[in-house]
Structure 1
């Protein structure tokens, strides 16, 4: 089993990744120019990434890995390092999410991370004060990597409840919002994804205080992730889980049925053209 090398904590993750890529390329006796032509990316981009000055996409990493016959090692290292871009308190949740057979999500403000497009995610993440563009791009890649649980051989059931305001909040402009709502419609085509909308006409609801996710794990009790302004809270404490479960049940009872919710998403999408 491949174990990614532990990066030097004094070296930025992208610099460490680039150095490992360069070592593998040199060991394969390939010049940057030849490799760039093989993977059909520019030599300048290869150089930027090997110097740790750009964040590689998953597509770039897969082509780079294939060209060097690395057997997926570089892709796994990339995933390991971009996952490390997540705050330490959130990494515990990623483990829970990966093992869950069912996820119940409530979001009153934005589309949940598991269903965000990269453009939408980029705007949301940029809202965090003090992040550099490099940190933003690394976080976006980590979020896209996280979404792979929905395309694995046995994905979890995902039950999403959104406030109707999410469909009309201008995040990233018309093009970004149109594509994001299209992404929701695409996701709902899966038999393992359900999306419901809580109508704005309800006014204040049980869920206006913040979003959360409930994870159901095989052979174990539920674990919840509760959002806050500074950092999330992950717990399987029975009292907390029961309180969140009761809140979720009330929110979902207030939501439109799925077919009505999907029609609302379609109507909202047309307003973002």
Structure 2
């Protein structure tokens, strides 16, 4: 999170609290935090927490001002390599996703996203929560009058199994298939080797009909907008999609996996 925005939130919190005539101890009781915790947050000694700011908005009747500022701060705090893709994703008319090992971010549950971010065992828990929340907020584009068409291709081996978090994720995928603009296609295990196993890719088509690609790696990611590179990615996308089952057969396969690995 960028410090200028974080300091603005803390300043607004102090101003709103004192304007309401509340001491840190009185305010803490209302938001169910200790006075020392309130002090630490206002002084920047503890990170800003979404739950705390949500309660503060309710108590201080701000109209969700503090949460809105936090959302802006979190967006500003995204890695520089990811910001161009976020912009393309927010403005897309069509989105295409493929990942050979994970459920695409726009289709992840909170618990699944946290598990993914915890792959990096050096990442602080507060950062895990922030990143997971950012990922969930991105999913807002899936609903609404101008929601993009989303096609996500997933390998059958990625489908969750017995683990409770993974079962919840599979149930969520099936729920997402009920949205008319979301298509989840499964590549069956029997398809064997295919070009998609080289790595994940994402594609976004903007309002002008032009495409932008995104590739991730161990160190970050990169936006792809060169004509030749985009032509390669689009061709590979078609090859990947051709390996997948049709929509209804994909749903049937997900339901079959769910029935095999449901509660025991």
CA 30–144 in structure 1, closer or farther in 2 if over 3 Å, else same = farther
Match of 1:251 in 2: 240
- Alpha-carbon RMSD across the aligned residues, in angstroms, is 2.6
Per the TM alignment, residue 218 of structure 1 is displaced from its structure 2 partner at its CA by 0.4
- Structure 1, unmatched stretches of 5+, are 1-5
Mapped partners of 2:52, 2:142: distance in 1: 21
CA 20–221 in structure 1, closer or farther in 2 if over 3 Å, else same = same
TM-score by length of structure 1 reads 0.83
Match of 2:70 in 1: 78
Alignment of 1:108-127 (within 5 A): 108-127=100-119
Alignment of 1:56-135 (within 5 A): 56-57=49-50, 61-135=53-127
Residue 207 of structure 1 pairs with residue 223 of structure 2: no
Residue 42 of structure 1 pairs with residue 42 of structure 2: no
Match of 1:223 in 2: 212
Residue 180 of structure 1 pairs with residue 172 of structure 2: no
Mapped partners of 2:8, 2:262: distance in 1: 41
Match of 2:14 in 1: 22
Say whether the 8 Å CA contact 1:18–1:52 is kept in structure 2.
Answer: no
Mapped partners of 2:23, 2:190: distance in 1: 62
Would you say how many aligned residue pairs link Structure 1 and Structure 2?
258
Per the TM alignment, residue 201 of structure 1 is displaced from its structure 2 partner at its CA by 0.9
Mapped partners of 2:119, 2:188: distance in 1: 26
Mapped partners of 1:272, 1:55: distance in 2: 38
Match of 1:7 in 2: 3
TM-score by length of structure 2 reads 0.86
Per the TM alignment, residue 199 of structure 1 is displaced from its structure 2 partner at its CA by 0.8
Look up the SS of the partner of 2:152 in the other structure: strand
Say whether the 8 Å CA contact 1:85–1:142 is kept in structure 2.
Answer: no
Match of 1:165 in 2: 157
Report Cα offsets for 1:55-101 as digits up to 9, x if no partner.
533x6644533443434432221111222342110011111111111
Residue 263 of structure 1 pairs with residue 252 of structure 2: yes
Mapped partners of 1:14, 1:52: distance in 2: 12
Per the TM alignment, residue 202 of structure 1 is displaced from its structure 2 partner at its CA by 1.3
CA 238–266 in structure 1, closer or farther in 2 if over 3 Å, else same = same
Aligned counterpart in structure 2 of residue 238 of structure 1, from 222, 227, 235? 227
Mapped partners of 2:103, 2:262: distance in 1: 16
CA 263–108 in structure 1, closer or farther in 2 if over 3 Å, else same = same
